[in-house]
Structure 1
Amino acid sequence: MGRTTGAAGASSPGRVSEPSEPSEPSARADPTEPRKARRTHKLRRALLATLITGAVVVPLSGAARPGIPAPEPAALAPVTAATLDEAYAANRANAAEAARMAAANGNRERAAADRAMSDPSRHFLTFDGRGPGLATEVFGDLAHADRIAVLVPGSDTSIDTYGRFRNAAHALHERLTREAPQGTRTAVVAWLGYETPGTVSATVATAGRAEEAAPKLREFVRQLRGIPDRGPGAAGTASRSGTSKGPAEEQPHISLLCHSYGSVVCGRAASDLDVDDIVLIGSPGTGVDTARALRTPARVWAARGGDDWVAEVPHIRFDLLGTTVGFGTDPMSPSFGARVFAAGDGGHSDYFKPGSTSLTNLTRIVLGETSEMTHG
């Protein structure tokens, strides 16, 4: 297939482009190439039609979905290292009550999902079982973490489908635990802090949900900065500015790992996010044409698996009947300016698959071992 081009006409690395002008046939020319090109163009036109239909015609997915009863979220003071266990206990209790209410309402699937979240081994900074549900789960010792990875999910992520999101965070935490240098403490946070769009919905091709989520993500990161205890014994490492700080002054290194539509959320929030890395994986675009336009001092990374269908989504952005459709330049494009790294041959849901190239490189970014990364 021909390579996907961004809004500025730049191409994704690693793909062979069709010539812009007709060329003389060679002895090695593939006679099936014209048919392949036609299929590619048809696919792109079909995807474009889907984007337009989803943004303008298709009704909101879940609009008619009956509400799922659940208690109000637990009322908690701002969380600190000293109050983490209290927050975890309160949110587990809230999940247990949500499970009872869902079961009484006849929703066995939601009751089972809520019940799993109330297990004593689970650690939630936030939990809200109402509607599709929101939750923020912690893996590792957040109270003393030197390096923190925050996962921001894409479409169709809710309490009902939370298992796959949790598996991604768990796989990353396991890899970080194995690979972290001695004395480096790590934590992973699965942030389901916004109502994600449906993959087939009026919202997935527009930035509406991302604009609603952006201030929530900024506030969460602001609070997250204040949780780890950086007192005596904390490791002193270089700050984002490159200057060395003592243990009491050092802030944890935070990497934001943004998957699929989650990269649109991160793009909307980027200019006011106090993070060290913004990593765009399987991204349809961020809503801007260059990494510089994100207006962030963080390092901006991008990767896409060889079998990720997002590669065939048109990287466009235009106004249609008062609605902006699409997210602009492909973050994998050289014109975007991200630091591109290898993600192997995986598909759209394989970035955190144990043993994968993508998980290896994501681990290196979080740990700051980027000199060892394989690049795209």
Structure 2
Amino acid sequence: MRRFTRTLVAAALTATVVAGTAGWASGNSQQPVTGAPVGTTAWRADGLPDPERMTPAQTAAYFGSLSLRRQQELAAAHPSVVGNLDGAPLTLRYAANARTAGARFPGRQVLAYDPRGRGQAVLVFGDLAKAAHVAVIVPGSDIDAANLAPLTRKATALREATGGRTAVVAWAGYTTPVGVGVDAATGELAEAGAGRLTRFAEGLAAVGAAEPSLFCHSYGSVVCGLAAHEIAAKDLVVLGSPGMRAENAAALGTTARVWAAKDPTDWIDRVPYVEVAGLGHGADPAAPEFGARRIDAEDARGHDGYFAPGTASLRTFAAIAEGDVR
């Protein structure tokens, strides 16, 4: 009976979304990529500390105990591990990922790269180590290592809107849904993504980066909602959200300021804000009763227009990232 209920709800949610969107197709089921980085078996065989048993703070302490030469030796011998270790020195991770992903992302600062599945990648715009302000953009469906352009455009737009003062992270560090389907209506991928996002944020703290502001788009807001109670962040901004798996802002369990934006032409408003038998993501974060601070998005267009240059939403995002909004 439970399976039958889930199937009915999934069909209703999918039909509602597809009917209200321009040409979106049903999604294919995805398996979340989690666990230790590629190459961990060889790393362990060399007698090195198990990445799955170290917190980012412990990772930072371990690398801090090594000479620069030894750090560089490890990055050369085990680039796919070092490049994905939250808490390892930033410059070392950039160098390691230049070895594994340089051909894919020439000239980019790649903070993480995982080729498994559809591929995951984390790109940094600006000086993450020295910037007084850090913004992390968490994307929704269809973003992966082979389709980063929509995400990097958002990151570039936000950085430019802050006058280049904020370091912006394009965090495609989890397995996103493909299209609109059961994956997008359920929380499995978001739960896996929340764990990875939490560890990433802990890694930022471990290397002394500024406490981030999170900008969570579409299904990415489900990820942020599930991670909110564990992440130290200044601000939690959701845009085009299908829900955060919380009934209100207080239920997120975060000390961050919670903001929400939804423009009047966004098809996400046609998605039922319900959670039944594990399907759907609950209350609308942009509704007054949710308790988030509302961001003007009247001049944004569609589901993907919140970071468009010249929009009120982008100006507000920049002010939030810079700490200019009280």
> Normalized against structure 2, the TM-score is what?
0.75
Once residues 142 and 16 of structure 2 are traced to their aligned partners in structure 1, the CA distance between those partners, rounded to angstroms, is 16
Give 1:74's aligned amino acid. Answer: S
Per the alignment, do residues 89 and 284 of structure 1 end up closer, same or farther by CA in structure 2, a change over 3 Å counting? same
Stretches (4+) displaced over 6 A: none
Does residue 201 in structure 1 map to residue 166 in structure 2?
A: no
Residue 139 of structure 1: how far off its partner (Å)? 0.6
Aligned to 2:290: 336
Give 2:296's aligned amino acid. Answer: A
Aligned to 2:245: 287
Once residues 248 and 15 of structure 2 are traced to their aligned partners in structure 1, the CA distance between those partners, rounded to angstroms, is 25
Aligned to 1:359: 314
Which of 191, 200, 204 is residue 211 of structure 1 equivalent to? 191
Residue 85 of structure 1: how far off its partner (Å)? 2.4
Once residues 28 and 202 of structure 2 are traced to their aligned partners in structure 1, the CA distance between those partners, rounded to angstroms, is 32
Once residues 13 and 113 of structure 2 are traced to their aligned partners in structure 1, the CA distance between those partners, rounded to angstroms, is 36
DSSP-derived class of the 2:97 partner:
helix
Deviations 1:3-45 (A, max 9, x none): xxxxxxxxxxxxxxxxxxxxxxxxxxxxxxxxxxxxxxxxxxx
Whether the aligned pair in 2 keeps the contact of 1:145 and 1:228 (CA below 8 Å) is: no
Deviations 1:113-133 (A, max 9, x none): xx341x1x2101111123210
Give 1:50's aligned amino acid. Answer: A
Per the alignment, do residues 368 and 276 of structure 1 end up closer, same or farther by CA in structure 2, a change over 3 Å counting? same
Aligned to 2:119: 133
Aligned to 1:269: 227
Deviations 1:30-83 (A, max 9, x none): xxxxxxxxxxxxxxxx96362699xxxx9961669xxxxxx75612185669x3
Whether the aligned pair in 2 keeps the contact of 1:142 and 1:228 (CA below 8 Å) is: no
Does residue 164 in structure 1 map to residue 132 in structure 2?
A: no
Aligned to 2:28: 61
Once residues 51 and 208 of structure 1 are traced to their aligned partners in structure 2, the CA distance between those partners, rounded to angstroms, is 21
Does residue 153 in structure 1 map to residue 139 in structure 2?
A: yes
Aligned to 2:110: 124
Once residues 304 and 177 of structure 1 are traced to their aligned partners in structure 2, the CA distance between those partners, rounded to angstroms, is 25
Whether the aligned pair in 1 keeps the contact of 2:17 and 2:268 (CA below 8 Å) is: no
Residue 284 of structure 1: how far off its partner (Å)? 0.5
Richer in helix (by share): 2
Aligned to 1:75: 81
Whether the aligned pair in 1 keeps the contact of 2:26 and 2:180 (CA below 8 Å) is: no
DSSP-derived class of the 1:143 partner:
coil
Whether the aligned pair in 2 keeps the contact of 1:286 and 1:331 (CA below 8 Å) is: yes
Whether the aligned pair in 2 keeps the contact of 1:284 and 1:315 (CA below 8 Å) is: yes
Once residues 79 and 131 of structure 1 are traced to their aligned partners in structure 2, the CA distance between those partners, rounded to angstroms, is 20
Whether the aligned pair in 2 keeps the contact of 1:80 and 1:228 (CA below 8 Å) is: no
Residue 294 of structure 1: how far off its partner (Å)? 0.4
Give 2:312's aligned amino acid. Answer: T
Residue 307 of structure 1: how far off its partner (Å)? 1.4
DSSP-derived class of the 2:289 partner:
coil
Residue 173 of structure 1: how far off its partner (Å)? 1.0
Which of 15, 33, 41 is residue 50 of structure 1 equivalent to? 15
Once residues 116 and 361 of structure 1 are traced to their aligned partners in structure 2, the CA distance between those partners, rounded to angstroms, is 33
Mean CA deviation greater in 344-353 or 277-286: 344-353
Whether the aligned pair in 2 keeps the contact of 1:153 and 1:261 (CA below 8 Å) is: yes
Whether the aligned pair in 2 keeps the contact of 1:284 and 1:330 (CA below 8 Å) is: yes
> Normalized against structure 1, the TM-score is what?
0.65
Aligned to 2:99: 93
Aligned to 2:213: 255
Once residues 175 and 316 of structure 2 are traced to their aligned partners in structure 1, the CA distance between those partners, rounded to angstroms, is 28
Once residues 211 and 334 of structure 1 are traced to their aligned partners in structure 2, the CA distance between those partners, rounded to angstroms, is 26
Per the alignment, do residues 344 and 269 of structure 1 end up closer, same or farther by CA in structure 2, a change over 3 Å counting? same
Once residues 144 and 63 of structure 1 are traced to their aligned partners in structure 2, the CA distance between those partners, rounded to angstroms, is 37
DSSP-derived class of the 1:318 partner:
coil
Aligned to 1:29: none
DSSP-derived class of the 1:266 partner:
helix
Once residues 204 and 362 of structure 1 are traced to their aligned partners in structure 2, the CA distance between those partners, rounded to angstroms, is 25
Whether the aligned pair in 1 keeps the contact of 2:284 and 2:290 (CA below 8 Å) is: yes
Once residues 86 and 240 of structure 2 are traced to their aligned partners in structure 1, the CA distance between those partners, rounded to angstroms, is 32
Give 2:288's aligned amino acid. Answer: P
What percent of counterpart residues are identical? 42
- Segments of structure 1 that go 5 or more residues without pairing to the other structure are 1-45, 65-70, 97-114, 179-184, 230-251, 372-376
Q: How many residues end up aligned between the 2 structures?
A: 264
DSSP-derived class of the 2:82 partner:
coil
Whether the aligned pair in 2 keeps the contact of 1:276 and 1:298 (CA below 8 Å) is: yes
Q: Which has the larger radius of gyration?
A: 1
Once residues 304 and 240 of structure 2 are traced to their aligned partners in structure 1, the CA distance between those partners, rounded to angstroms, is 9
Per the alignment, do residues 316 and 191 of structure 1 end up closer, same or farther by CA in structure 2, a change over 3 Å counting? same
DSSP-derived class of the 1:191 partner:
strand
